[in-house]
Amino acid sequence: MITTAKKFDKVSGIYNTLIFQFIYFYIIHPLSFWFIKKNIKENYKILDIACGTGIFLKKIQNKYKNLQCFGIDNSEKMIGVAKKNENIQFLVAEADKIPFQNNSFDFVTIIDAFYYFPDKNKAIQECSRVLKQNGYLFIHSPAIDIFPNFLIYQIKLISKFLFFDLEDCSSFLKIKELKKIAEINHFKEIRRKNILLNRLFLFQKI
Ligand SMILES: C[S@@+](CC[C@H](N)C(=O)[O-])C[C@H]1O[C@@H](n2cnc3c(N)ncnc32)[C@H](O)[C@@H]1O
């Protein structure tokens, strides 16, 4: 079976093109930034998990020049593309084995990737470990459980030609389940919003 990392390796060369980036450029990244901006401070150290080619980090670094940005992704080739940006440190790593020390970040983000993680509890546990006390965890996820059927049908059709495979994604967590995993790992929910079939969550480590 071809792994998710290998699938993203295959599309890494074209991932930054408009056809892939359209939805990120106009919807996912602006919504994410709008949702977290009032909790970001200039001197924060921020980690983007499953950062892909690092586009979100690049965008926020343009707005906050003193942010220290780090990104991890388990696709070597996506990270290869990301590394063209030399102001940000990118590493190949799994979401449930974050290669950073305890209490080292002020902010952790996971954008459009959480549903891929095979061990979601371990991933959140790792976020909690690397975050400082009162640090923030932002999770963006498409609300696939409430997508209309015609959209699911179209995604399935397109996904045959692209990298996305609904069957690959190890279950879509419901809000209740995510809140439970977050609570177990010492997070409290600060804010949550459903917008345009996107779910945005902000948790704080307590
Ligand atoms: C749809 S892309 C989103 C990329 C990025 N977050 C963005 O907003 O552009 C999903 C990313 O998750 C990564 N990914 C999937 N499973 C992962 C895992 N277990 N650990 C680390 N990265 C993972 C993939 O390699 C891919 O780059």
Reading phi first (left if > 0) and then psi (alpha if -120 to 50, else beta), residue 19 is in alpha
How large is the greatest C-alpha to C-alpha distance in the chain, in angstroms?
Answer: 44
Give the model's pLDDT for residue 25: 92
- Cβ of residue 123 lying under 6 Å from some atom of ligand 1: no
Residue from 21, 48, 51, 159 to probe ligand 1 pocket by mutation (most atoms less than 8 Å from CB): 51
Highest mean pLDDT among 7-21, 103-117, 138-152: 103-117
What average pLDDT score do residues 190-195 get? 94
Domain 4-205, architecture per CATH: 3-Layer(aba) Sandwich (3.40)
Q: Is the CB of 54 under 6 A from ligand 1?
A: no
Contact between 180 and 116 under an 8 Å Cβ cutoff? The reply is no
50-81, pLDDT tens digit by residue? 999 999 999 999 999 899 999 999 999 999 99
- Work out the pLDDT band at 160, boundaries 50, 70, 90: low
Instruction: Indicate if ligand 1 lies below 6 Å from the C-beta of 182.
Output: no
Closest C-alpha to 145, from 125, 173, 117: 173
Give the pLDDT score at 161. 64
Q: Which bin fits 171, alpha (ψ -120 to 50), beta or left (φ > 0)?
A: left
Alpha-carbon dihedral sign for residues 124, 127, 129, 132: negative
Residue 105 beta carbon below 6 angstroms from any ligand 1 atom:
no
What is the reported pLDDT for 181?
96
